[in-house]
Structure 1
Amino acid sequence: MIASHIPSYYTASAPPFPAQPALAGVERADVCILGAGITGLSTAIELAEAGYRVIVLEAERIGWGASGRSGGQAIFGYGCDQSKIAALIGKEDSRRLFDWSLEGVRLIRERCAKYAIDCDWRDTHAHVPIKPRQVVELKLWQQDLAENYGYDVQWWERDQLRAQLASDRYLGALVDPNSGHLHPLKYTQGLARAALSLGVRIFEGSKVTALVRGDKPVLQTAAGEVHCDFAVLAGNAYVRGIAPELDSKIMPVGTYIGATESLGPERASALIGNDMAVADINWALDYFRLSADHRLLFGGRASYSTLPPPNLSGTMRRRMTRVFPQLAGVRFEYVWGGYVDISLNRAPHWGRLGGNVYFAQGFSGHGIAATGLAGRLMAEAIRGQSERLDVFAKIPHLPFPGGRAFRTPMLVAAMAWYKLRDAMF
């Protein structure tokens, strides 16, 4: 039996999507993709547009994982600063990766236009500082983006920000009109409709239990298997054991979101006048935006132990009212969470295993735009043009320390230090 989506505002507000069959028996494809999230579906669309026969295997439902649960903020760049990427692979390649990240944002708009995907897209994103040192950090980042990457973003002083954002918590904002936000489940389902229209076959309730490598890879499920020329692993935080050499390079991190009751158009626009998405730059950050039906979507409270925080709804309300005290009496109608995958250096981990198994993971909470780019680059490599994917493969990735028994406790301890730093400095 195919599982349903977890209860969330996204599930409640997305139009019904017809269930796809489960895999049964033996199938053949040019490419078989594990995972029907944005990464997998983007890869499928690129390949199907080029005439490839593609099968996508999804353990649960389309968009069941991070693609259908996330904060929905589509931002340039990756999960770590470009300066870190430059230190890892050099300035020239770092500039290439940055320019390609902008392509990832453009790709969302292009796909929505080409395939008539209504996903409530809104322009503009703001990074906001809470402490004076963060003002300095953001202004240095603005300078680095302009001087080394040719990308101009706006600095808003506190008064200018306050004219759009009804909160006294922040000291200014680094504003990018090119980035934005969307309804992630609607977008993922829109990609699935596009893929199906191109002849892609999607099987839900079809968890991959093994990958048999060789000249012709085979992806096996409990009830069937797919023989293919190329395999793509796009399950991210929700897959373990299929390619053990990848498992040690990422960790699942729980992240949580609440959706208020509808505030009405007047009260909602009084909170965020220009309908932008907002995120602070604490290590344990808050991020928020308005929904199309005038709710506040408020996220944060990451869990590095993979255990949901106690009294999640109460904790989220306290965080929300710290930003918007005027919402003290407003309740969350939905609260939900899920896992994102992080790499040790927070840089993207994309590449290939052997000559015919491709993977993309390590989006580190920055995946709405980067996942589409990853799909395009893996499709290019399968078609014989691997130059761009090869640049990503240059990024060195170490396993999380501690092995299976101690890697999670060690990460929890490290994150406790960063949260203390947020609070004290």
Structure 2
Amino acid sequence: MPDPLNNSYYAATANAWDAQPAFAGEGEYDVAVIGGGFTGLSAALACAEKGLKVALFEKETVGFGASGRNGGQLIPGLRWSMREIDEEFGRERAQAIFDLAYGAVGRVKDRIARHGIRCDLKAGHLEAAYKPAHFDAMQRDAEFLAKEFGWESEIVQPRDMGRHINGGGYHGGIYDPRGGHFHPLNYALGLARAAKDAGVEIFEHSPSWLGDANARYTIMATDNWMQDLDPALGRYTIPIMNYNIATAPLTNWQDYLPSDAAVADSRFVLNYFRLSADKRLIFGGGEKYVQAPPADIAGFVRKHIAEVFPSLANTPIDYAWGGAVGVTMNRLPHMGRKGNVFFAHGFSGHGALVTTLAGELLAEAVTGTMERFDVFAKLPHRPFPGGKLFAQPLATLGLLWYALRDRL
């Protein structure tokens, strides 16, 4: 039976990829990587480039999870603004976090260029202010980021928003030319091909406990499925379901997104959207805190499209899909080690760039260079309260409160 969550534009337009065998035998490796998304693929590739013998185990297929289903938005930085990070951790730690988190842009673009990955990379990202107060805060953050860390972006006044978007009634925004968007599944497949070329053995349809693979080190990069590997680590995230659609190609796309930038608004439960290479509107809107998908994913997202672009309320929708995102309590990524096991998860919907960085930091840590890995590993984290039975319901109550604030 087809997966109702995987009727995606990305799967329909994926680059050619030869299915990889399941692991059912024995193997001796320096590193076993569990998870075939951006983090695991990046980690496996970086480890192989350091001369290690690497096997990657994916329970489904490469890019099956959030890495192959997300909105494709390349947003520099983390969920926290640099002003918040600076206030919380002090300038020295903030500078180290900035260097890595914002440097992730260059790491992704370098991988794309170095390996010739065809993933429809485009430049430009706009954060759109849902309320005037949001715009005030966004301006302060952008000015702080430019003054204190040298990262320049463009403050777009409300009267100038038409250069980027015609719709939504937004109250200004921040345009970052170094951000952008891409085809996430094709990026994942490109990393996988590069990893294979570097000597990584990739096994699909292979839960990590199958067979008898011995490895000196293990990297766990399963994000929302961390619970399956390590229940204690799994308590640090909860799954949030996101849903996306792709319309039929728009002949008049310039009327809606004239600069072809990706857009995400400033609501807690945000709308995010962009144009594909063939000028379809790829739109994500709303969240659900239960894992059962809506009976009609396209209908669920369509009402959010109508709020932003009323004239597209009835436009044909060719693809509709969804998936779970692992979210931490503080919405910062959770990285660390337990003996010879290293892990990274909880990118909280902001991981299209930072996951590549995380994989490379995991590879550094495995080979004994901990300094940059520790920048993230030392971020404070707490598990969700309530244990296995009550963590999700308690977190849902909190998330619903923030969602309600969007409407006030």
The TM-score bracket by the shorter chain reads over 0.9
Say yes or no: does 1:284 pair with 2:269. yes
In structure 2, relative to structure 1, the CA distance for the partners of 1:202 and 1:348 (3 Å cut) is same
2:215 to 217, 228, 236: 228
Further displaced range: 375-384 or 73-82 = 73-82
User: Could you report, residue by residue, the CA deviation over 1:193-216 in whole angstroms, capped at 9, with x for unpaired residues?
Assistant: 1011111100000012xxxxxxxx
In structure 2, relative to structure 1, the CA distance for the partners of 1:335 and 1:423 (3 Å cut) is same
Asked if the contact 2:21/2:204 (under 8 Å) is kept, the reply is yes
Instruction: Provide the TM-score with structure 1 as the length reference.
Output: 0.92
Instruction: Tell me by how many angstroms 1:35 deviates.
Output: 0.5
Gaps of 5+ in 2: none
Identical positions, percent: 41
User: Could you report, residue by residue, the CA deviation over 1:147-170 in whole angstroms, capped at 9, with x for unpaired residues?
Assistant: 332211110112221133121521
Instruction: Tell me by how many angstroms 1:241 deviates.
Output: 3.5
1:334 to 305, 319, 324: 319
The equivalent of 1:376 in structure 2 is 360
Asked if the contact 1:260/1:295 (under 8 Å) is kept, the reply is yes
The equivalent of 2:282 in structure 1 is 297
Asked if the contact 1:142/1:174 (under 8 Å) is kept, the reply is yes
Q: Quick one: distance in 2 between partners of 1:84 and 1:66?
A: 27
The RMSD of aligned alpha carbons is: 1.6
In structure 2, relative to structure 1, the CA distance for the partners of 1:129 and 1:399 (3 Å cut) is same
Instruction: Provide the TM-score with structure 2 as the length reference.
Output: 0.96
Instruction: Tell me by how many angstroms 1:399 deviates.
Output: 0.8
Q: Quick one: distance in 2 between partners of 1:412 and 1:308?
A: 16
Instruction: Tell me by how many angstroms 1:225 deviates.
Output: 2.4
Q: Quick one: distance in 1 between partners of 2:148 and 2:333?
A: 20
Further displaced range: 237-246 or 41-50 = 237-246
The equivalent of 2:242 in structure 1 is 255
The equivalent of 1:185 in structure 2 is 185
Further displaced range: 407-416 or 196-205 = 407-416
Say yes or no: does 1:238 pair with 2:222. no
The equivalent of 1:138 in structure 2 is 138
1:323 to 308, 314, 325: 308
Instruction: Tell me by how many angstroms 1:378 deviates.
Output: 0.8
Asked if the contact 2:15/2:189 (under 8 Å) is kept, the reply is no
Further displaced range: 226-235 or 162-171 = 162-171
Gaps of 5+ in 1: 209-219
Q: Quick one: distance in 2 between partners of 1:272 and 1:359?
A: 38
Superposition map of 1:53-68 within 5 A: 53-68=53-68
Q: Quick one: distance in 2 between partners of 1:157 and 1:170?
A: 10
Asked if the contact 1:75/1:369 (under 8 Å) is kept, the reply is yes
Q: Which amino acid aligns with 1:364?
A: S
Q: Which amino acid aligns with 1:306?
A: Q
Asked if the contact 1:89/1:394 (under 8 Å) is kept, the reply is no
Runs of 4+ with deviation above 4 angstroms: none
Q: Which amino acid aligns with 1:312?
A: I
Aligned residues: 406
2:329 to 341, 344, 365: 344
